[in-house]
Amino acid sequence: MTLGSAIFLVSIAMLIYSLVRHAMGATLVGWTSTVVSIWAIGGLQLLAIGIIGEYIGKVYLETKQRPKFIVEEYLKDEETRNLLVKEHEEIYEAIKNRDLKKAKEISYQHIENQREAIIRSIREETKNR
């Protein structure tokens, strides 16, 4: 979508350039309208393709029917969720205090704890089926 917008803006610049050149008499008959038409239509086409692509991408993601918040889906245990929130707070405080070594250690531990909790939750869910 951005490429289409950029090319359309270039077409507006080309319009101004072409009109100035036309006013100076430095162009052939029909050159100005041809150049501006090509740039404008090309930019609008790319813009439209970008919008359609965004729409198709969102439709695709919706058709997969994945939960928007996987953590809430798999971490139903209140104690585990509280632990993970506490770890987030500790990471934030370490970063705020500019203790990057501690933030890194807590982050790695947090990722490992979260991975284990999700795996445990998935195993419990598959047992219940």
pLDDT along the chain (129 residues), means of 10: 75 85 84 82 84 90 72 66 84 90 90 82 76
Q: In whole angstroms, what is the distance from residue 111 CA to residue 105 CA?
A: 10
CB-based burial, 54-76: b 16+ in 10 Å, e otherwise: eeeeeeeeeeeeeeeeeeeebbe
Nearest residue to 85 via CA among 69, 102, 99, 71: 71
Query: What is the CA angle 63-75-96, rounded to 5?
Result: 105
Q: In whole angstroms, what is the distance from residue 109 CA to residue 92 CA?
A: 14
Exposed/middle/buried for residue 106 (C-beta within 10 Å: 0-12, 13-18, 19+): buried
